Each structure stands twice: as C-alpha cells, then as structure tokens.
Structure 1
Amino acid sequence: MSDPARAAATVAAFPAAAAPARAAKPAPFIRIEHVTKRFGTFTAVSDVSLEIQKGEIFSLLGGSGCGKTTLLRMLAGFEEPTEGRIFIDGQDMTDLPPYERPVNMMFQSYALFPHMTVERNVAYGLKHEDMTSAQRADRVREMLALVQLTDFAHRKPHQISGGQRQRVALARALARQPKLLLLDEPLAALDKKLREHTQFELMDIQDKTGTTFIVVTHDQEEAMTLSSRLAVMDKGRIMQIGTATDVYEYPNSKFVAGFIGSINFFGATVRAASSETATVEVPEFGGTVTARAIPGLVPGQAITLAIRPEKIQLARGRNEGPNTFAGTVENLAYFGKDSLYRIKLPSGRVVSVNSVNARRAGENERVADWEDAVFLAFDPAAAILLKD
C-alpha cells in the first residue's frame, strides 16, 4: 500500500474527534422583555429589553428624565409596566406586588428613622420575617459587622457621618437577604472623596454577599467604577450596554461618546476604507486623518470623528507619525494630576487636550504655555468613527 493510501486508511479507521462542547451560557438572573411605561401621553421607558446575570453589579446610567429610576421602580414593583414582562430568577414578577418579590431597595435619602439607634434601624426590616428574637439579633450583628459599624450600634443617625448613614441603610436593605438589591443614587449625598472611598466598600460588600446589585446613577465615574456592566439610557431607551471599557473606548453613537467622559467631535467625510483603517477628510484639521475602520464605510460618506482629550499627545516639535497637526495654545488649566490645554487650529477650531503632570511643578517646564506654537498628534486607533 502506498504512503498516501495508508494515510487515508488510517484517517478512515480513526475518525476526527468531535469538537469540544461549549459551556452553556447561564440563564439570566433578571430578564426584562420589551418593557414600556407610559404616564398618560408621556413614555418614560420605551421597549427596553435587558438581561442581567446573577452576582453582577449592573448600573443604569443616564441624565435626569432618561427613565432609569422608572425602570428600577418597575423591578421593585412600585410601578407596573404598560407593556412587557419582568422575570427574576426565572419567575414572572410583572404582576406581583413589592412584598412578594425577592427584592429590596435602598433609597437615595436612606430613609433612616431618626429616633431609632443604628441597631434598631437595621432590625426594622426583619420585624415581619419568620425569625426568633435571637435569630434577628444574630442577623443584625452580622450585618453591622459586614458594614463595619459594630461599634456604632447604639448611636442614632444624627450621631454618625453621612458615609456611616449610607452603610446603615445598606445593612438594613441586605438584612432580609434579598436576591436582588436596587440602589437609587446610593452615593449622591456624599462628598467626592467619601463617594470614591464608599464605591470600593460597596464593591467589597457585594462580593462578600454575592447579592445582585442594580444601581441607578447619573455619575459616569461612579457607574464605571462600580459596575461589571452598565447600560447608558436616553429618553427611555437603552443606547448601549457593555463593560466600562466597552462603552468608553468603543461607543456606538455620538450620544454615548459625548455622555461618557470628555471628547472632541469633528465633521468628516470618508475618502477611503479597508477592513482595518479608514482615511477621512476633516476640514477643521485642514487635511486627512487615519482612523481605525468601522463596518460599512463607503467613500463620500459623511461621518463623525471623535477623539478623547487624553488620547492626544502635545509637543513643541513636530511628530512625523500620522495625524499630526499644528496649533497654538489658547488657554490652559492646571488640575494637579493633569493639565487641560485648549489648542486653536488654523481653521479656528479649538481642541481640548489632557496632559498628565508626571513630575512636580518646577522640576521641568510645562509641555507648552499660553500662545505657544505646538503640534498635536494621535494614533489612528484613538480616532473613533461614528455614523450618528
């Protein structure tokens, strides 16, 4: 038998192994199906569909009036959907009242009883639970230890700080061991430094309990810090869902790109496009820009070019790489960790550029000063192309 024939016989005798089976995607813990909520002629939430996995910290992010709190209230049972269904842990909750749902809600105001001690505030949510007095006391101690308030058990709300009151409200909400905890602007009442610290405390507590959290917030940094995933909302609709990196680095629309962080927008026209890169004409730059391509580009197509200020490099000398343009420093602001430069292009357009202050002031000169001639440059991968 020839070598090729022998090889063919061997293959026939030993058929190829089957491809390994892919792990089945777990069923979503929360499933929202085509939910709409109308108040008279006003549509607060419009045809929202969403899946959230067990153990996630999921944020609903948007400005005032975008529908995020209305959606949260429908999950809690305080509002009924006009259309659509809501499932939690496989059970249809759409028509169930709040007290029959495995859900608890932490309100923005915290709603603590001022005449009760911290201990009694935490215990209040357990008074209708089927527990003995000893079991309730054990649960309260467990919750106070979880939020590190054991030593404050006998104080009243006015005798503790804002951050501690926030943790009391969280302990009370978790005491009933809900499957789902809804948090409505939970950190809005705290100052910036305390809010940043408490974000990590919330993440640590959620990790210890394994409870699924849904957070409503208008604060972009809060949503990006807390969330395993987030949904950006506008006018009752979900505009994009993804991780903080997905939404910040790869926005799917001009609205999302402008809502998350700072960004520069430019009108552009597609000149050429391949599967990897695109060349676009940008009149305000006075030339062409090379960018990472997106699907569906055709020559002559009008498009938006977006570049985040921290993705732009600023220098006194010209960079010979792609996307290098001359300008003049019109304004600058020093923020400590970084400086914001406003660079005026020959077209008159002003571009925002962030530069990190890696060294202490006085150890070296600024990258540039007022009215200096400079060059700005950015990598093609930093240039975001948007169709709307």
Structure 2
Amino acid sequence: MRIEGVSKLFGSFQAVRDVSLTVSKGEVFALLGGSGCGKTTLLRMLAGFEEPSAGRIFLDGRDMAGVPPWSRPVHMMFQSYALFPHMTVAKNIAYGLKHESIGKDERAARVREMLDLVQLAPFADRKPHQISGGQRQRVALARALARQPKLLLLDEPLAALDKKLREHTQFELMSIQARTGVTFIVVTHDQEEAMTLADRIAVMDKGQVRQIGSPTEIYEFPNSRFVAGFIGSITAFEARATGRDGGNLLLDVPALGGRVAARDVPAVIEGQPLTLALRPEKLRISKDRPAGANAFEGLVKDLAYFGKDSLYRIVLPSGVLVAAHAVNARRGDEGARVADWDDRVWLSFDPAAAIVLAE
C-alpha cells in the first residue's frame, strides 16, 4: 500500500493533511492518535468508503481512484464487529464468501479453515450472544480473512474488550497475522496496543503524520515534544545547549538547578533553546546522593502502589513535579518501598536516558 500526498476535506475542515506513507506486504502497521486526528478518515479512504480530496492511493501498484469498496482486495473489520445476531458463528464467517465465485464445497472448506485458525470450531453452531466478547472479535476477524484479502483494515479492533482480555487478544492477533501473512493496518488510540501489535507506527495529530517508525524508535527517539508526550509519559523541562563534554551534550536546565549531561545530538548548536524530556522509568530514586552529574534532590509528595511497581511524584526545589517509577522487586509491606511520603530523596539518570528535542 502506497499513499501519496493524500488529503481529505469535509467542507472547510481538513481531516487529513498531505499524508504520504508506504506499508509493506505482510507488515502490521498502526495509525495511532487521539480522537479527531484523522486516522479513521484515512482508513476509510483506504477501504474506498471515502474519496481523497487530493493525492493518490496505490495497492500493488494499482491506483485505487474510482475503485469501489467491493472491488478492492481489501477488507475492513469494524470496531463493533457488525456480526449478524440471527446467524451462527459459521454462517457469519461464510457470509463474507457469499459473493465469491467459489463452489459450495470450497466455501465450506474455507469456513472450516477459518474456524480452526481462530480456534472457534467447537463454537461453530452458536449465535454471537452465546459467546464471549473476545470470541466475537475472532469471528469478525475470521469473516474478514475468509475472503483472503491482500490488506485487512482494523478500526479499534480491541476497544470493546476489558483490559486483561485485550492483552490476551493482542497476542492472538499477532499469531494469526503471522500465520496468514496478510498485511494489517490497525487504527487505535491505545499506545500500548500499537506498540504490542505493530511493526511500525505512524503517530497522527490534526490530520498530519508526525512521525513514522518502529515502536522502539517512536518511544526512545521521538522527533517532537508532541510524540514524546503522546507515547508514554514524560516530564518536560525548558533547556538550553551550553556545550559538549566527553561525547555528551551539556544543557542548562533551570528547573533542575543547573547543568545536565545528555546524549549528544549533532545537529544542536550552542545556545539553542531545547526541551529536555525524562521518562519516569528512566529515573533512579535513592536516599543517598549518587555519583555523577545528573543528580537532583527533591521531596516525595505523592506515592501510588501498583503492585509490580510504584509511582513517585517528587517536587524539586524549583517547584516542578517529576514522576518516577520504581520496580517493586521484593515482596513485602510498605518497608520494601524505596521511599515514603515526605521523604527527601535523590533522582538521577544516565545521559543516554535523556531525550533532547528541538521542537
């Protein structure tokens, strides 16, 4: 799938702005963004439900302009699943093959294959209301895959599931995609879902693609303050480049009380205003001052226990609140915590953990 300069206008409102990207065969590609960012509009243009106001969409080198949805080798799986309540699981899957030019025996074989693929053969004669939400999701997926599309579009595919079931189903989806080799484009607002499912992610905002990359690239090397804040959590500080030392970029960060050493960014020049972003899990908390330049004292204002880890909100002398995570590696009561409310602690981080942003 190749998208070239695609835009979409609804009256005077521009829902999608000059989007260009390429999705490779067999890839799982995620369109990630908040409500109203244009990701679903872009998906609907790929499916043929909307026509671009400008730009072109190609599938296997063929221009999709003017090609209706039913003539595209594309299937869209809707957020609601859109299952027929009066049909059995097997008949719901078979419905997608109704207009295919295949014989009755081949159709039945295809349905059995899909039931086995999504592990629902024992539920073939049940109605949608007689199976769980996760199973209904797999029925919708089987129906979509039964037509053997080149491209499967999934619009918030796991939004209707609870947290634990959603986590389990993410891995099922990955397994099914790997076995079929069908190209998936997934629309989601859930950062964890995109990071788990996708080979690459396009982060969208106000109709534009802000960054495209692997989950690691997007998380560890965001190209803007927006992307850094949208993917995961950060504490952002105003900073200014002051020089270089030993392969590190030196920054003046008033909120942290002075000089900070960060991974060097070659394009940055001395005196340039920047943003320093720190992720909570990259910060270390200790009662004693650690060695190294990047160490700052503060007071524990808030503490939240999540079981596997704890979140500390620490106020610095400048008044800035910094969030930090600490893994609860030991089993025990409150005595196992790194610190408690109103404790004075030190925060520190490695230069490589600091994210330096020019925009």
Q: Work out the CA distance in 1 between the residues paired with 2:135 and 2:148.
A: 20
Equivalent residue runs for 1:1-388 within 5 Å: 30-273=1-244, 276-362=247-333, 365-388=336-359
Q: Work out the CA distance in 2 between the residues paired with 1:304 and 1:94.
A: 43
Flag the 1:274–1:48 CA change in 2: closer, same or farther, 3 A. Answer: farther
Q: Work out the CA distance in 2 between the residues paired with 1:273 and 1:231.
A: 33
TM-superposed CA distance for 1:274, in Å, is 6.6
Q: Work out the CA distance in 2 between the residues paired with 1:52 and 1:46.
A: 18
The aligned counterpart of 1:8 is none
8 Å CA contact 2:328–2:336 kept in 1: the answer is no
Q: Work out the CA distance in 2 between the residues paired with 1:203 and 1:167.
A: 12
Flag the 1:267–1:281 CA change in 2: closer, same or farther, 3 A. Answer: same
Amino acid aligned to 1:226: L
TM-superposed CA distance for 1:254, in Å, is 0.3
Q: Specify the structure having the higher radius of gyration (Cα).
A: 1
Q: Find the residue that maps to 1:187 and give its secondary structure.
A: coil
Q: Work out the CA distance in 2 between the residues paired with 1:363 and 1:63.
A: 37
Deviations 1:104-141 (A, max 9, x none): 01000000000000010000010111111111110000
TM superposition score normalised by structure 2: 0.98
Q: Work out the CA distance in 2 between the residues paired with 1:66 and 1:131.
A: 40
Deviations 1:183-216 (A, max 9, x none): 0000000000000000000000000100000000
Q: Work out the CA distance in 1 between the residues paired with 2:110 and 2:100.
A: 11
Between stretches 69-78 and 271-280, larger displacement belongs to: 271-280
Deviations 1:327-357 (A, max 9, x none): 1111111000100001111111111000010
The aligned counterpart of 1:6 is none
Q: Work out the CA distance in 2 between the residues paired with 1:77 and 1:249.
A: 35
Q: Find the residue that maps to 1:318 and give its secondary structure.
A: coil
Q: Work out the CA distance in 2 between the residues paired with 1:94 and 1:334.
A: 53
8 Å CA contact 1:273–1:298 kept in 2: the answer is no
Q: Work out the CA distance in 2 between the residues paired with 1:132 and 1:188.
A: 36
Q: Flag structure 2 segments of 5+ consecutive residues without an equivalent.
A: none
TM-superposed CA distance for 1:364, in Å, is 5.0
Q: Flag structure 1 segments of 5+ consecutive residues without an equivalent.
A: 1-29
Q: Find the residue that maps to 2:142 and give its secondary structure.
A: helix
Deviations 1:259-314 (A, max 9, x none): 00011100011111379421111111111100012232222211100000000000
8 Å CA contact 2:120–2:135 kept in 1: the answer is yes
Q: Work out the CA distance in 2 between the residues paired with 1:296 and 1:102.
A: 44
Q: Work out the CA distance in 1 between the residues paired with 2:227 and 2:264.
A: 19
Amino acid aligned to 1:281: D
Identity of aligned residues (%): 69
Amino acid aligned to 1:115: H
Q: Find the residue that maps to 2:160 and give its secondary structure.
A: coil
Q: Find the residue that maps to 2:178 and give its secondary structure.
A: helix
Deviations 1:26-83 (A, max 9, x none): xxxx110000111110000000000111000000000000000000000000000000
Flag the 1:79–1:339 CA change in 2: closer, same or farther, 3 A. Answer: same
Q: Work out the CA distance in 2 between the residues paired with 1:130 and 1:275.
A: 68
8 Å CA contact 1:274–1:293 kept in 2: the answer is no
TM-superposed CA distance for 1:95, in Å, is 1.9
Aligned residues: CA RMSD: 1.1
Q: Work out the CA distance in 1 between the residues paired with 2:292 and 2:332.
A: 29
Q: Work out the CA distance in 2 between the residues paired with 1:73 and 1:93.
A: 13
Q: Work out the CA distance in 2 between the residues paired with 1:129 and 1:277.
A: 62
Between stretches 358-367 and 262-271, larger displacement belongs to: 358-367
Q: Work out the CA distance in 2 between the residues paired with 1:277 and 1:292.
A: 5
Where does structure 1 differ by over 6 angstroms across 4 or more consecutive aligned residues? none
Q: Find the residue that maps to 1:290 and give its secondary structure.
A: strand
Q: Work out the CA distance in 2 between the residues paired with 1:320 and 1:211.
A: 51
Q: Work out the CA distance in 2 between the residues paired with 1:132 and 1:211.
A: 23
TM-superposed CA distance for 1:94, in Å, is 2.1
8 Å CA contact 2:289–2:295 kept in 1: the answer is yes
8 Å CA contact 1:275–1:295 kept in 2: the answer is no
